[in-house]
Amino acid sequence: MSLDFVARRYDTHEPVRVRTAAGKIVRVEPLASTSVKSPLPWVAPGFVDVQVNGFDGQEFSAFDLTPEKVLRITQRHYPFGVTGYCPTLTTQSIACLTHGVATIHQACETMPEVARHVVGIHVEGPYFSTEDGPRGAHPKEHCRTPNYDEFRSLQDAAGGRIRILTMSVEFDEAPDFIAQVSASGVTVSIGHTGASGAQIKAAVDAGATMSTHLGNGAHRMLRRHPNYIWDQLAEDRLTASLIVDGHHLPAEVVKSMVRAKTPARTVLVSDVSGLAGLPVGRYPMTSGIELEILPDGRLCIAGQDQLLAGASLPIGFGVANVMRFAGVDLQTAVTMGSTGPAKLIGAPCGGLRPGDRADLVLFTLDGEPSVLNVAATIACGDVIFGKI
């Protein structure tokens, strides 16, 4: 299939004609501004969301997950401009996690549509501290000490598709475990941790390269300094992922974090929960916790509005918000939600150079404050959502 359309580049802002064939970019030609008769959508590499927990009431870390449900969750992200993503399994029993990663692997092996979009699996836990605060909404009974043989069994069940492991790093076993996991080609990310500065340094020395949703999964009250948020901000060897949905981090915190880490060491994630896409209300979870979606879109533990339990807004909200919160330009914001996360885990991503994979998103920025509205999503040269 070949495509031929006009849009405005996200990086240079110039109007261009884009031509694709056989799933690749063939040509991107500048257009004379005088030939543009109406406002054009922006065109950019498709978003790569490395933290997607599920959708429409279905979690990836669930015994009832099937390949068909993996396909459905994959398709439900097309309207968000997502062309690549990491199905993310949160803390559960090893049996449940094994079922989840094996099912995702099966879906990738038997459904080309899933394989095209799944750039790896993200396992968030179960190697977390049981301490309240850093543990967040992860069930305490399944949090455990890291064990490499156990992780290898998960990776075998996943067919080698696990690309990110998020873990606490205050365990005595953490440095040796991290060294083994990172040597196997998996990105080790620090998250849901109450670690000391020395423990964070030891984890990074051992091979950890990422911080998962920095600023969240933490104690509600922290000493001013030192603390594990400052320690991770100051560690230049760590790339931080941020949830910039307007609920998880105040605008001033986003601005400070982006400026401290720099955009080059910051990526955006949605962290959308399996409850994303459902209407406002309360929902019992298999872990025994009841969660609630509030009218403003926040997803929290039922009965209060501060203990968040994942997100309900897609990554495009983060792209629009980070421009406003941190004062970055459109090119920088898009990079933080597309080529940046892809590069972090060595995954394919779209681009606007001849030969690049034609994974693209066309969008507008509407309203005040701006909201990113996806006009079309293109994956390997196929229009999978909207019109061009």
The answer to whether the pTM exceeds 0.85 is yes
Report all structural domains of the chain as residue ranges with CATH numbers, in order of start: 2-44+352-386 (2.30.40.10), 47-345 (3.20.20.140)
pLDDT of amino acid 307: 75
pLDDT of amino acid 287: 64
The secondary structure of the chain, three-state, reads CEEEEEEEECCCCCEEEEEEECCEEEEEEECCHHHCCCCCCEEEECEEEEEECEECCEECCCCCCCHHHHHHHHHHCHHHCEEEEEEEEECCCHHHHHHHHHHHHHHHHHCHHHHHHECCEEEECCCCCCCCCCCCCCCHHHCCCCCHHHHHHHHHHCCCCEEEEEECCCCCCHHHHHHHHHHCCCEEEECCCCCCHHHHHHHHHHCCCEECCCCCCCCCCCCCCCCHHHHHHHCCCCEEEEECCCCCCCHHHHHHHHHHHCHHHEEEECCECCCCCCCCEEEECCCCCEEEECCCCCEEECCCCCCECCECCCHHHHHHHHHHHHCCCHHHHHHHHCHHHHHHHCCCCCCCCCCCECCEEEEEEECCCCEEEEEEEEECCEEEEECC
What does the buried/exposed string (b/e) look like for 196-228 if buried means 16 or more CB atoms within 10 Å of the residue's CB?
A: ebebbbbbbebbbbbbbbbbbbbeeeeeeeebb
Phi and psi torsions of 167, nearest 5°:
-150, 155
Strands 82-90 and 121-124: parallel
- 388 residues of the chain, pLDDT tens digit each: 899 999 999 999 999 999 999 999 999 999 987 677 789 999 999 999 999 999 999 999 999 999 999 999 999 999 999 999 999 999 999 999 999 999 999 999 999 999 999 999 999 999 999 999 999 889 999 999 999 999 999 999 999 999 999 999 999 999 999 999 999 999 999 999 999 999 999 999 999 999 999 999 999 889 999 999 999 999 999 999 999 999 999 999 999 999 999 999 999 999 999 999 999 999 987 666 788 999 988 888 888 777 788 899 999 999 999 999 999 999 999 999 999 999 999 999 999 999 999 999 999 999 998 999 999 999 999 999 999 9
CA–CA dist 120, 351 (Å, integer): 19
Whether the bond between 369 and the residue before it is cis, its omega within 30 degrees of 0, is yes
The answer to whether 309 and 273 are in contact (CB under 8 A) is yes
